[in-house]
Structure 1
Amino acid sequence: MLNRGRYQGDGIGLVDDKGRVAIPSALRATLAANAPKADGKTGGTIIIGAHQKNRCLVAYDSGYLDILAERLDRREAENTSADGEYDYNIKRRAAAGEAVPFDGSGRFIMPAFPRFYAGIGEHAFFYGVLDYIEIWDPQTLIATEDMPVVVKEMARFYMQSKGIAL
């Protein structure tokens, strides 16, 4: 998987009443390259799940699923005690993902539970974190204490460009 593109970029998407939203173009290009459709047409599949720590979503291509599983298997092997004890909630949190199709314009329907979990309403802030994409409710992101100031300011910037002050 050394040829995988890295997710860099950010942007805001308007979420309609059915949960449809478009992935920002910089991130969409990487996603399409990492997860091309078998028939060669534009679009593909994106996996959406809850972040393991924060009240946001993670989104990634199916190739990252193998990398994630390998990391979790290695973590389990390294952290299983001599009596076989391991915190299986680590894998349970990471396994919460749903594959959904996206079209050539990057539009996809955000699954209902993950959207509810992250508190995403009319706007979704997308942020590339190299291996995956984080999707945030902008207000939740700004209220999250351990987020870098620059990321919070990105969300404020995009919302301000939509005429919404946070």
Structure 2
Amino acid sequence: MTNRGRYQGDGIGLVDDKGRVAIPSALRAILSANAPKANGKDGGTIIIGAHQKNRCLVAYDPGYVDLLAERLDRLEAANLADDGDIDYNRKRAGASGEAVPFDGSGRFIMPAFPRFYAGIKGHAFFYGVLDYIEIWDPATLIATDGLPPVVKEMARFYMAERGVAL
């Protein structure tokens, strides 16, 4: 992954009734660099899916799919059942994702099921975790045990800027 930009940055986006939201600019710049459009225009493709563990979403560029598949293949090979059978649920959980286009301003339509799964309604909190981006409903993020306090405070901060206390 040495040629790939790492996703660092955070921000909040307003989600409209149709699921339209904009990727924060710092994350959008990395996403565009990792997967530039062939015609050289702004925008590209983002893949959105359910997180394997938490009630949030993961988002990444199409180039990350092969890296994710390799990682899941290694996990699968290292964790065979006693009878030598494969735990197919590892790939089922990791394969969640739908490719959607985003425009030069980072706007895209969040697919309905992932949005439902993560409970995202009016706001989406974006957080870069190096290999991918997590997208959270801010209230769900704050209520989730085991997350770093600084990430929860980021969500509180952005929501307070919008006049919403969490």
Distance across 1 between alignment mates of 2:74 and 2:155? 35
Partner of 1:15 in structure 2? 15
Deviation (angstroms), 1:80 = 1.4
Map residues 86-165 of structure 1 onto 2, 5 A cutoff: 86-165=86-165
Distance across 2 between alignment mates of 1:7 and 1:157? 20
Partner of 2:30 in structure 1? 30
Distance across 2 between alignment mates of 1:11 and 1:114? 19
Partner of 1:5 in structure 2? 5
RMSD, matched Cα? 0.8
> Structure 1: which amino acid aligns with 2:9?
G
> Structure 2: which amino acid aligns with 1:153?
E
**Match status 1:40 vs 2:40:** yes
The answer to whether the 8 Å contact 2:48/2:98 transfers is yes
> Structure 2: which amino acid aligns with 1:35?
A
> Structure 1: which amino acid aligns with 2:139?
Q
Deviates further, 135-144 or 32-41 = 32-41
Distance across 1 between alignment mates of 2:141 and 2:63? 27
Gaps spanning 5+ residues in structure 2: where? none
The answer to whether the 8 Å contact 2:100/2:108 transfers is yes
Map residues 55-94 of structure 1 onto 2, 5 A cutoff: 55-81=55-81, 83-94=83-94
The answer to whether the 8 Å contact 2:81/2:87 transfers is no
Distance across 1 between alignment mates of 2:11 and 2:73? 33
TM-score normalised according to structure 1 size: 0.98
Deviation readout 1:82-104 (Å, 9 max, x if unpaired): 52222211110111100000000
Deviation (angstroms), 1:81 = 3.5
Deviation (angstroms), 1:38 = 1.1
Q: Percent identity?
A: 82
SS of residue paired to 2:55: coil
Aligned length: 166
Gaps spanning 5+ residues in structure 1: where? none
Distance across 1 between alignment mates of 2:74 and 2:24? 33
> Structure 2: which amino acid aligns with 1:136?
W
SS of residue paired to 2:63: helix
